[in-house]
């Protein structure tokens, strides 16, 4: 008779076969059998968080910085409901997560038992798929299927709900056959004809632009290499969404910066005026398009995406190429090289006028701000952080708000998987736990969470996790005592009625850091900023850096609500130059 | 026009609404119907009628027929979103006006009245294959099969002939000719 294994053992056998090294979780009654089994599997390290939401975001940070799926283990009821925000976040930003939740024993399901909730019902709209394991015989198949669904096609979160009696029940375990071909839903659906059509459009275009997104990062590091080759080969300008930052070098001359609501003037105007728009792995999010009716009105549009339902969802496109970004770019470059040997030269001549126009837009220097020698400007703080960390392989996470946009605008990324931010869902409190996950996946690397003082308080408890596991993450708080983005919208849209956006009774972050057992640093004026940032980097412990910045600073440029790309609101410098001459200059 | 105070853009012009019949082949497993229905409610799509039953016991397949209205863009999204669901095998999409597809709904109608009245009823709905399923001296249950609008009209008309209760199914669909949908 073959050996029988308990459900808990099977869970770990599957995790081992899926090459999982880290799980983020929090124990509780309904997962105790799985926690009991943990000690027998030394290759799998468990990171104990302080709140299940933290486990979810940490797993997201782990997944996004390593390219491997993040694994979460939580208990039933509150354990499962606490992880819902992180699952939704991962669903919106296409992050592969496998969440294992405990459930009350099968005979108690539906009886309102202690710590029971309809976990699969609650998580159905925020996962790619979920399973309630009702029979121990299904457990192994479901576990492997969960990993397959999470990581193939457009990645995303999945959840496996395992009742406690199933964790105790016993059955056989069959090892996976190595060469077993995995049937993949959403595989490549393009052919050479699509690629030829794309190249024909590229040849005809005189004002082309690449608009790239998180799909390039999700497709793997190879996609970023291929993208760089394609952009160099064509000579076309390129802009990126928030999630795509890093897939193309941020300091390259062909890169126009981020586009969208807080994107650069040149990127948004180029999107508006172009005659060929090539979307690679982005999804025409509403923060990108602005007013749909006036979005890039004169362009032919190409959309390359692995998810067919992304195509024509918001913007009707002329050519859709459904496939993995890596494969599509590879075919495109190959065909380009075969057809047009002198493409680089001929193209650059053809689009030189386009580049002249772009250079004109660039002279606006839309990311500029009026610096001060008395008070730290938040943009200045991010710029200094960039300058002092750019020579090492640095990973940046963020919370959500103004600081997130300033980080995206002023920190230049050169590699994919170095930038982890909550874009789709916009989850305040994402950055700290995400940084923990990033640090777990990348020990010895510098991991900085660019944070706001309001966001950080939402998941502050996870600093305790960082200390427990000696994860030297750096929390760089741009502290303006306001929910800055809320305040900015209230200023611009609600007649400066700053309703509930000021944080009174903030903690002393330096003392707070000390209370947790890490290091607190405070910077209050521009003169001490560099020195203190360097001190932060040099400390091999978690650091909370409380950077006091200008409270009134707004994040510009900005596309106001309901406006197209070419009607941007620029910063105070530009507004003053346009409105008030002389007097405005005196203020600079 | 007052200045928009929203950080979201205003809705844009919508194209014309169309009625479509969407047929979905799914694994007959727990919660599959709620995945399909949840997709519709979660994304704000519309369900006019729904019919679902297992059609293949051996392969454990169910066939869901959904009547929905939406702009052509929304209909396209519905089909693509449905195809992404893990238990969904295939999805077919027909316009209601499509002449190559047969749509039928069934209704059970209960009447109070004597024999002559019931005969009148049968005569009124003779176009819709009436079948008497139950009859007593005072009542009858009659089954008819027809299109949605036809049943709507019939139930209005038959009120005066003693109709007291109506039970209806959603529409089911089948293509004409020898071909099947793959």
Strands A5-6 and A170-171: antiparallel
Q: Inform me whether the pLDDT recorded for B3 exceeds 90.
A: no
Mean pLDDT to the nearest integer, B102-115: 94
Find the largest Cα–Cα distance for chain B.
Answer: 69
Selected for mutation to probe chain B from A142, A284, A313 (highest B CB count within 10 Å) is A313
Would you state the pLDDT for residue B2? 47
Would you state the pLDDT for residue A180? 52
Would you state the pLDDT for residue A492? 87
Give the chain B residue whose CA is nearest to the CA of A488. Answer: B7
A532–B contact, CB cutoff 8 A:
no
Give the chain B residue whose CA is nearest to the CA of A130. Answer: B86
Would you state the pLDDT for residue A581? 41
Q: Tell me whether the omega of the peptide bond preceding residue A79 falls within 30 degrees of 0, making it cis.
A: no
Residue numbers of B between 51 and 90 with CB closer than 8 Å to A: 73, 76-77, 80-81, 83-86
Question: DSSP string spanning A50-83?
Answer: SSHHHHHHHHHHHHHHHSSPEEEEE-STHHHHHT
- Give catalytic residues of A, as residue numbers: 52, 114-115, 164, 485
CB-closest option in A124, A493, A562 to B34: A124
Q: How far is A313 from chain B (nearest CA, A)?
A: 6
What count of CB pairs under 8 Å joins A to B? Answer: 61
Mean pLDDT per 10-residue segment, chain A (588 residues): 93 97 98 98 98 98 98 98 98 98 97 97 97 97 96 97 98 74 62 94 94 97 97 95 97 96 96 97 93 92 96 95 96 88 66 95 94 96 98 98 98 97 97 98 98 97 98 98 95 92 95 97 97 98 98 93 86 62 35
- DSSP code, position A150: H
Strands A543-548 and A519-523: parallel
Please list every residue in chain B whose beta carbon sits closer than 8 Å to the beta carbon of residue A292. Answer: 9, 12
Q: Are B91 and B82 in contact (CB under 8 A)?
A: yes
Yes or no, beta carbons of B7 and A307 under 8 Å apart? no
| Per-residue pLDDT reduced to its tens digit, A430-470 | 999 999 999 999 999 999 999 999 999 999 999 999 999 99
What is the distance, to the nearest Å, from the Cα of residue A434 to the centroid of all Cα atoms in its chain? 10
Would you state the pLDDT for residue B5? 65
Q: Are B122 and B132 in contact (CB under 8 A)?
A: yes
A441–B contact, CB cutoff 8 A:
no
Would you state the pLDDT for residue B4? 58
Q: Are A543 and A521 in contact (CB under 8 A)?
A: yes
Q: What is the C-alpha to C-alpha distance for residues B106 and B148, in angstroms, rounded to an integer?
A: 9
Give the chain A residue whose CA is nearest to the CA of B79. Answer: A309
Would you state the pLDDT for residue A577? 56
Quick check: pTM over 0.90?
A: yes
Yes or no, beta carbons of B84 and A309 under 8 Å apart? yes
* Average model confidence (pLDDT) across chain B: 92
Q: What is the C-alpha to C-alpha distance for residues B78 and B40, in angstroms, rounded to an integer?
A: 8
Mean pLDDT to the nearest integer, B67-71: 95
More confident residue, A346 or B22: B22
Q: Are A161 and A99 in contact (CB under 8 A)?
A: no
Strand order in the sheet with A446-452: A419-420, A394-398, A446-452, A474-479, A543-548, A519-523
Q: Are B20 and B48 in contact (CB under 8 A)?
A: no
The stretches of chain B forming alpha helices (DSSP H) are 32-42, 72-84, 115-124, 148-158
> What ipTM does the predicted assembly reach?
0.90
Name the 3-class secondary structure at A232.
helix
Long-range contacts of A352-356 (CB under 8 A, 24+ apart): A353/A206, A354/A206, A354/A207, A354/A208, A354/A237, A355/A237
Would you state the pLDDT for residue A345? 63
Q: How far is A160 from chain B (nearest CA, A)?
A: 14
Yes or no, beta carbons of A129 and B86 under 8 Å apart? yes
């Amino acid at each position: 008779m073959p050996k029988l294994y308990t459900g808990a053992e099977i869970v770990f056998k599957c995790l081992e076969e899926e090459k999982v090294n880290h799980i983020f979780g929090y124990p509780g009654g309904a997962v105790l059998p799985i926690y009991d089994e943990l000690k027998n599997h030394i290759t799998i390290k468990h990171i104990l968080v302080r709140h299940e939401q933290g486990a979810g975001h940490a797993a997201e940070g782990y997944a996004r910085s390593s390219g491997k799926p993040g694994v979460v283990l939580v208990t039933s009821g509150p354990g499962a409901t606490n992880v819902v925000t992180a699952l939704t976040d991962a669903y919106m930003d296409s992050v592969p997560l496998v969440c294992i939740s405990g459930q009350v024993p099968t005979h108690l399901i539906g009886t309102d038992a202690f710590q029971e909730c309809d976990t699969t019902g609650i998580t159905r709209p925020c996962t790619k798929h979920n399973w309630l394991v009702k029979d121990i015989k299904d457990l192994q198949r479901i576990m492997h299927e969960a990993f397959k669904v999470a990581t193939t096609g457009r990645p995303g979160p999945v959840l496996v709900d395992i009742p406690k009696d199933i964790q105790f029940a016993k059955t056989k375990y069959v090892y996976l056959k190595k060469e077993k071909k995995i049937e993949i839903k959403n595989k490549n659906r393009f052919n050479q004809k699509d690629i030829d059509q794309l190249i024909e459009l590229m040849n005809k275009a005189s004002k082309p632009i690449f608009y790239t997104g998180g799909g390039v990062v999700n497709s793997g590091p190879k996609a970023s290499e291929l993208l760089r080759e394609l952009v160099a080969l064509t000579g076309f300008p390129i802009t990126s969404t928030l999630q795509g930052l890093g897939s193309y070098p941020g300091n390259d001359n062909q890169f126009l910066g981020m586009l969208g609501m807080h994107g650069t003037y040149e990127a948004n105007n180029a999107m508006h005026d172009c005659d060929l728009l090539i979307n690679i792995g982005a999804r025409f999010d509403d923060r990108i398009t602005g007013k749909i009716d006036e979005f890039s009105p004169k362009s032919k549009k190409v959309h390359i995406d692995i998810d067919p339902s992304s195509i024509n969802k918001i913007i009707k496109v002329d050519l859709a190429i459904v496939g993995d970004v890596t494969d599509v770019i590879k075919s495109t470059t190959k065909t380009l090289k075969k057809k047009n040997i002198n493409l680089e030269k001929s193209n650059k001549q053809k689009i030189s006028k386009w580049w002249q126009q772009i250079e004109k837009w660039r002279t606006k220097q839309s990311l500029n701000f009026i610096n001060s020698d008395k008070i730290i400007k938040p943009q200045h703080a991010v710029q200094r952080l960039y300058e002092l960390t750019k020579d090492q392989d640095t990973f940046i996470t963020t919370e959500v708000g103004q600081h997130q946009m300033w980080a995206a605008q002023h920190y230049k990324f050169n590699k994919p998987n170095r930038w982890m931010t909550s874009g789709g869902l916009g989850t305040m409190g994402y950055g700290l736990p995400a940084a923990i996950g990033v640090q777990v996946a990348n020990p010895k690397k510098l991991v900085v969470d660019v944070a706001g003082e309001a966001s950080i308080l939402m998941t502050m408890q996870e600093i305790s996790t960082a200390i427990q596991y000696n994860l030297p993450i750096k929390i760089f708080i741009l502290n303006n005592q306001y929910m800055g983005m809320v305040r900015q919208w209230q200023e611009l849209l609600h007649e400066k009625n700053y309703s509930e956006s000021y944080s009174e009774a903030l903690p002393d972050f330096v003392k707070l850091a000390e209370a947790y057992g890490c290091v607190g640093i405070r910077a209050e004026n521009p003169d001490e900023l560099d020195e203190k940032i360097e001190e932060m980097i040099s400390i091999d412990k978690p650091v909370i850096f409380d950077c006091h910045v200008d409270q009134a600073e707004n994040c510009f440029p900005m596309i106001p609500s309901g406006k197209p790309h070419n009607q941007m609101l620029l910063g105070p410098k530009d507004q003053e130059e346009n409105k008030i001459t002389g007097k405005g200059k005196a203020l600079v | 026009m007052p200045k928009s105070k929203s950080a979201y853009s205003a809705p844009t012009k919508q194209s014309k609404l169309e009625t479509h019949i969407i047929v979905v082949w799914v694994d007959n497993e727990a919660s599959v119907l709620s995945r399909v229905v949840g997709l519709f409610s979660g994304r704000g799509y519309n369900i006019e009628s729904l019919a679902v039953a297992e059609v293949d016991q051996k392969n454990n397949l169910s066939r869901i027929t959904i009547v929905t209205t939406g702009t052509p863009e929304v209909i396209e999204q519905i089909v693509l979103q449905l195809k992404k669901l893990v238990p969904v095998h295939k999805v077919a999409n027909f316009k209601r006006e499509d002449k190559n597809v047969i749509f039928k709904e069934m209704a059970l109608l209960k009447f109070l009245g004597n024999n002559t009245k019931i005969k009148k009823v049968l005569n009124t709905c003779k176009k819709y294959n009436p079948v008497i399923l139950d009859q007593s001296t005072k009542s009858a249950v009659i089954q008819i099969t027809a299109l949605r609008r036809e049943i709507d009209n019939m139930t209005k008309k038959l009120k005066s002939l003693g109709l007291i209760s109506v039970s209806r199914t959603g529409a089911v669909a089948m293509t004409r000719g020898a071909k099947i949908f793959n």
